[in-house]
Structure 1
Amino acid sequence: MHKSYILIVMLALFCFGPAIAQDSLNIVNDVTQLNPITVSQIIAPTTTKQIVSAVKTHDGPISIGGGRYSMGGQTATERALHIDMRSFDSIVHFSETDKEITVQAGITWRKIQEFIDPYNLSVSIMQSYANFTVGGSLSVNVHGRYIGKGPVILSVKKIEVVLANGTIVTATPLQNKEVFYGAIGGYGGLGVITEVTLQLADNVKVERTDKLLAIKDYKEYFFDNIKNDSTVIFHNANIYPNNYNKVREVSYRQTSKEVTITDRLKPLDEKYNVNKYAFKVISASSFGKWMRQYLLDPALYAGNPVEWRNYEASYDVLELEPESRIKSTYVLQEYFVPVGQFDSFYPLMATILKNNNVNVINISIRHANKDPGSLLAWAKTEVFAFVLYYKQGTEQKDKDAVAKWTQQLIDASISCGGTYYLPYQLHATQVQFAQAYPDSPLFFELKKKLDPTNKFTNKLWDKYYP
């Protein structure tokens, strides 16, 4: 029971349950179930040739989707041809010596893990949950809890992209680099990412440690104890609501100790009933949050388990799926600020959340190094990420309330020289988008060049592409 619960309270990054897409009705929805979109047709290609043919022969809009864990219509738009990439999931090439793998973009990270684990290799950078497709992760330029890393683009060696005219382009940081830095983090706006070559890492044993801190002490603690410790593989810090003045930092350090958890990957047959119940309690009231901070977490973090890196990287989003999303749902937001602005941003964030009575479940602090050059980079410099996981109602008044405080948080982040993450609900104004992503005109210029008829689009680009 203790181990099950820890999955909830520690890892609220990309914490969404399985997206339900009513494909028989040509309705594409995301995990929140807040954004049903009726498309004209859904196809599920298994070959690049089929993708090229669809792109060449379809005259109207085209949208692209993988696991559908984005939360604001980033994978669909009305009357589009929707390309469902989840059947396009083969391994194309693997080199144990070079620690390199090439995959079709619809493959999940879990399938890669199952293939490379026998070679004692691991994914270099990914989000905390393994259900996502690789192409979808690249399209939003994900990050995780990896210390010394940052956006997933840092681990990508090569991509192949089908452009609007049906041309297949190979792109690397040196070859066709404008496509490389535009398509990764480009939310399907430039073309279909079909193949991805990833640099892999060693699968090592890691030991978990934790420490409770005042949030005012966290930044100094991170730079003194975490950032330059080469043994730290995973790290995050959870801010406890509703006071937002305490954090629990959780780190996984490489070790030579024997594993105490013998599984190499998370089991696939878990029902997660305990997880779901505990999560329901935590999200239901302030008392549930108090219980987590003062009763549950102190017990849960009493030990220091040793496990494999791949085990820690293979979480299943099913563990956090609620019984229903009809009356309420669970949603993510994320804000990035330069590391020097940590102490300026978090008080602004806490004040906004308190003033708006936001039902915050967890805020997870992550660290990321500078993006190497993607046009829609969220890490223009070294940043701290604040991953906000919250519960909201599904009525229009609830959506309006969320839009109000979201815009306040975006303004707070921008005032600190930061930005917000684009895979979530489209509450930012056009002005806020332009301020947070100052290189967006370069992306739009490239899109106009590669996709002059705006063939590749979705609700994100419907709103912000001029």
Structure 2
Amino acid sequence: MKFIIFLWSIFFSSILYAIPMNDKSGLSLTEVDQIIKISENSSIEVLQKVIREARKNNQKVTVYGSQHTQGGHIFYNQGIILNLSNLNNIQRLSQNIIRVQSGATWKQVIEFLNPLGLSVDIMQSDYDFSMGGTLSTNVHGWQVNKPPLIASIRGFHILMADGSVRYCNRQKNTDLFKSVIGGYGLLGVIIDVDLHVIHNHLYELKQWVIKTEDFLPFFKKEVQGNKKAAMFFGRFSLDRKNFLRKIAFRIYEDTEQQAKNQKLSEYRWVQSILNWFFSKTRKSDFLKKVRWEIENNFLAERLFKSLSRNQLLYHSVDNYINTQEGYTDLLQEYFIPIENFEKFIFSLRSLEKDMSDYLMNITIRHVQKDNESLLNYAPQEMVCFVMFFRGPKTKDFDRKLSLMAQKMTDQALVLKGSYYLPYRPYQSKQQFEKAYPRWREFKNIKLIYDSSEVFFNQFYENYFGEKLKQD
């Protein structure tokens, strides 16, 4: 009888204390043991105690800031989550270097820099993401002729599995520097980041609508060969008649004039209109055409002709994120060598019937070569395809998108390209290993510093498998 009561108490306590968690996909429901929100006044000793207790009790630890990944990167079953969103202090170290705590968002960084006449060098197209999460995913942006984020990182402090705090840069702890950036939180807790910043200049818009087959010569002239080009993206037409046959080609040129603390306006009323059109275009060919005309022949020219760099970067994902209950937004990104651009377009057109009910947007960016990070998606200069899908929050939609993603990944790999890791784990382990050939080196470095695998998440479990033997 006592044994039955004992078993019941274990079962009951697991129900009582299990905390359901999900990520932005809404498809990764996981039960964790604890979520520990670190206060802004907490000392390093508080984090060290958590790590020490987790190691002692053989528990797994993950970290999150703004929770925007979609592939189980921020939790593990029955694990401990550290919420660092309150660690958001920012300070200026020198003329062009700031130190940002890992929980601060780009919104907070831009608001700090704007009165100083400074701006971010490399970041995503939206400001909602935390510094720790951004570093852990080694993001790219729509800045022209820029490598991923690692190029603008001057150093960072990280709390290791053994409780020590290390400073990592290109001269000290270099193996950690190239592993932690783009390492998805698997080597420790990022405390703060030293970031290179630049002047906040005024930019002028230039835009064209071109045929897709004209992209390469246009790109070489207006982006690669244009010293004034500072920001670039392209957006594809998605209506049935013109599916991937037109590109709205948009660049912002640097006037080299210093911006004077302009108001960081987001044109919320405009974004509300665009969001309505965006949400309705999923199954309406007519509204896809209307949205195309509004975005390319009205709004950009009239409202966004001349803006500061900070105004361009001061933009939230809330402007277009799904609010319809029962639906989810999922992203996929593919990096393709510039010379293989047209071949990848051809492969995407072959999937039009599969994608048409779910594909909301495809934009293209430019990413320069990354010579540093181990989990490196840009070993050469690339064009990036950012693909935005919306569908019902069901296993069937998840399965359909998984099949499409595997086909697109196969084609990207054939073309000597790659794909991005923060999203749903649709790619096979074989595809991952081919896209990221230095994965073994990354794992060996992790096991040197975290032999007990305290820092562990679903992404790691999916793609890194069993422990490797140490040499």
Aligned to 2:25: 32
Question: Which of the numbers 191, 196, 217 marks the counterpart of 2:193?
Answer: 196
Larger radius of gyration: 2
Name the structure, 1 or 2, with higher relative contact order (CA <8 Å, separation 6+).
Answer: 1
Amino acid in structure 2 at the alignment position of 1:39: V
- In the other structure, the counterpart of 2:228 is 231
Q: Assess if the C-alpha contact under 8 Å between 1:44 and 1:88 holds in 2.
A: no
Q: Match for residue 315 of structure 2?
A: 315
- Alpha-carbon shift at residue 293 of structure 1 (Å): 2.5
Contact 2:213/2:342 (8 A) holds in 1 = yes
CA shift at 1:28, angstroms?
2.6
Contact 2:391 2:397 in 1 (8 A): yes
Give the stretch that moved more between structures: 28-37 or 434-443: 28-37
- 1:209-228 to 2 correspondence within 5 Å? 209-228=206-225
Query: In 1, distance between residues paired with 2:318 and 2:310?
Result: 18
1:305: which partner in 2? 305
Give the aligned partner of residue 402 of structure 1: 401
Matched, 1:50 2:43: no
C-alpha spacing 1:61/1:346, structure 2 compared with 1 (3 Å): same
Contact 1:289 1:361 in 2 (8 A): no
Amino acid at match of 1:51: L
Change (3 A) 1:276 1:224: closer
More divergent stretch after superposition (295-304 vs 417-426): 295-304
Structure 1 residue 114: deviation in Å?
A: 1.2
Cα separation, partners in 2 of 1:313 and 1:375, compared to 1, 3 Å? same
* 268 and 244 in structure 1: CA distance in 2 versus 1, 3 angstrom threshold: closer
Counterpart residue type for residue 92 of structure 2: F
Q: Structure 1 residue 388: deviation in Å?
A: 0.3
- Per-residue CA deviation, residues 389-437 of structure 1 (Å, 9 max, x unaligned), is 1112212111111111110011010010011100000011111111111
Structure 2 residue identity aligned to 1:394: K
Gaps of 5+ in 1: 1-23
Which letter maps to 2:207? D
Deviations 1:292-322 (A, max 9, x none): 2345532334446211110101101221233
Q: Is the 8 A contact 2:278 2:291 kept in 1?
A: no
What's the offset of the Cα at 1:457?
1.3
Q: Would you say the 8 A contact 1:125–1:152 is kept in 2?
A: yes
Counterparts in 2 of 1:23-172, with a 5 A limit?
Answer: 26-45=19-38, 46=40, 47-59=43-55, 60-91=59-90, 93-97=91-95, 99-172=96-169
Give how far 1:358 is off: 4.9
Could you tell me which amino acid in structure 2 is paired with residue 129 of structure 1? D
SS of the counterpart of 1:64? strand
**Matching residue's letter, 1:308:** S
C-alpha distance in 2, partners of 1:71/1:228? 36
**Aligned CA distance change for structure 1 residues 62 and 216 (closer, same or farther; 3 Å):** same
The code of the aligned residue for 1:307 comes to L
Q: CA deviation at 1:270?
A: 7.2
TM-score by length of 2: 0.89
Could you tell me whether the CA contact under 8 Å between 1:33 and 1:325 is conserved in 2?
no
Question: Residue 113 and residue 149 in structure 1: after superposition, are their counterparts in 2 closer, same or farther (change >3 A)?
Answer: same
Task: Look up the equivalent residue of 1:69 and give its one-letter code.
Answer: H
Q: Is the 8 A contact 1:272 1:318 kept in 2?
A: no
C-alpha contact (below 8 Å) 1:266/1:315 kept by paired residues: no
Q: Tell me how far apart the structure 1 counterparts of residues 270 and 190 of structure 2 sit (CA, whole Å).
A: 33
Name the aligned partner's letter for residue 177 of structure 1: T
Aligned amino acid, residue 400 of structure 1:
R
Seen in structure 2, the aligned counterparts of structure 1 residues 389 and 464 have a Cα distance that, compared at 3 Å, is same
2-structure distance, mates of 1:128, 1:27: 30
Take 1:78 and 1:350, find their aligned partners in 2: how far apart are those partners?
39
Give, as a single letter, the amino acid of the residue that structure 2 aligns with 1:439.
Answer: R
Q: Distance in 1 between matches of 2:249 and 2:371?
A: 27
The total of aligned residue pairs comes to: 439
The Cα of 1:258 is off from its aligned counterpart by: 10
Contact kept? 1:32, 1:325, Cα under 8 Å: no
In structure 2, distance between residues paired with 1:268 and 1:363? 23
Per the TM alignment, residue 347 of structure 1 is displaced from its structure 2 partner at its CA by 1.0
User: Within the alignment, does 1:207 sit opposite 2:204 as a pair?
Assistant: yes
The match for 2:328 is 329
